[in-house]
Amino acid sequence: MMTILIKDVTILSMMDEDTYIGDILIEGHEIKAMGKGLSVNPREVIQGTGMVAMPGLINAHQHTPMSLLRGFSDDLILMDWLEKKMLPAEARMTPEDIYWGAKLSMAEMIKSGTTAFADMYIHMNEIAAAVQEVGLRASLTRGLVFMEDDGGRRVMESIDLIDRWSGQAEGRITTMLGPHSPYTCPPAPLKEVIQLAEKKNVPIHIHLAETKEEVIKIREKYNQTPTEYLYNLGLMEKSHVLLAHSVHVNRRDIGYLKGMRGGVSHNPVSNLKLGCGIAPILDMMRQGITVGLGTDGAGSATTVDMFEEIKAASWLQKLEYGDPRQLPASLVLRMATRESAKLLNIDKQVGTLEIGKRADIILIDMKKPHLQPLHNVASLLAYSVNGSDVDTTIVNGKVLMKHRQLLTIDEDELFKEVMTRSKRIVEGI
């Protein structure tokens, strides 16, 4: 069994805000011991002096293949971005394109400290294969749109994904059902998906109230808010639900979400960049609703560096309330780790550094001008660290990156494939 000892590292377990210098012993997939001066003889020693060890970041909402469309459609209003650029380009993507686009996002995630993510897209077998090969942890969802009749093909692909991939890749892959959004899922098929989720015992991942336009559409069609629409169809009743965005929700909507299993993925960079608005996440948290962090796809956010989301989330709430005390460093770091783990329904395995939990650990190199002096480690992690400060990324006890070198992805091959494929996809659009 593989054993790794991380020595003399500053440990932020995310169980609380305290840090201490000690050792972490990894045995197989798990954290076996933590403490000062562990006396063991491991197969590999990682010297952690000058570094901070913390739980890997967990990206609660992603569309990994959209990395192929990074920077292709910036500075456009949402519907132009979607209809004139994104949808035509996505229609050209082959399954092989999706594999390589997903791999590009995974490379960026590993290099910026993300160890687990929730993904919603098409051709999910290719994405699952990339996850299996690369070594990340993922919750995979086949996006379901019911605006035209496809003979049930999308639902069958969702069932196939669940049956084929749940628990695979040494337990790193979990699955969900993914009705895309209230405005693309009429009541009858959405009810069927809710029943299927209960039957298959899997969570549901769905976009909610990302834009004002969505609120207007649902109001005109059903005389309800998008949140009321989902609530009245029974979505929150029996399933663990991951709601992406939830920007345009009012106090009554938040009342409907209170007590739900699952919660909300806040995606501040994408919401800012597309001018969608500021989600009322503090109001949600005050009602006991779990709020984690996600990036959305690189087609909108341009980056999948979760440290950018951490900064943006905190700064937005401070600005919105005119109060620098809102969403402090310790809380926003918890959103990116513990709370996102709850959204993916994997908090018993990851999200904190504890003996017996899976060894999903990142080491951040603090020996840099912008990270000195170490008055408050949590503040530096939330407000000063960026993804390129991550030195080592470990998932399930396996080192995926060491000293900034990817160990499970050939970057030269990746860049060559991505360049060729992305040019073909966007040509003439």
Contact present, 24 and 41 (Cβ < 8 Å): no
Q: What long-range pairs does 37-40 form, CB within 8 A, spacing at least 24?
A: 38/5, 40/3, 40/5
In the chain, CATH 2.30.40.10 sits at 3-55+354-406
Q: Per-residue b/e over 64-98, b at no fewer than 16 CB within 10 Å?
A: bbbbbbbebbeeeebeebbeebbeebbeebeeebb
CATH topology of domain 57-343: TIM Barrel (3.20.20)
Q: Does domain 3-55+354-406 have CATH number 3.40.190.10?
A: no
Residue that is written with structure tokens 């960079």 in the block: 269
Whole-angstrom distance, CA of residue 150 vs CA of residue 23 = 54
pLDDT of residue 290: 98
Q: DSSP assignment, residue 86?
A: I
Question: Which residue type occupies 163?
Answer: D
pTM attached to this predicted model: 0.98
Residue that is written with structure tokens 């999903």 in the block: 360
Whole-angstrom distance, CA of residue 127 vs CA of residue 100 = 9
Residue 124, CB-side half-sphere exposure with 13 Å CA sphere? 33
Contact present, 212 and 277 (Cβ < 8 Å): yes
Distance of CA 353 to the CA centre of its chain: 19
In the chain, CATH 3.20.20.140 sits at 57-343
pLDDT of residue 148: 80
Whole-angstrom distance, CA of residue 290 vs CA of residue 340 = 8
pLDDT of residue 413: 98
Whole-angstrom distance, CA of residue 384 vs CA of residue 378 = 10
Segment 174-215, tens digit of pLDDT:
999 999 999 999 999 999 999 999 999 999 999 999 999 999
Residue that is written with structure tokens 């709601």 in the block: 243
Helix (H, G, I), strand (E, B) or coil at 196: helix
Q: DSSP assignment, residue 337?
A: I
Please identify every stretch of the chain with a pLDDT value under 70, giving residue numbers as ranges.
Answer: 151
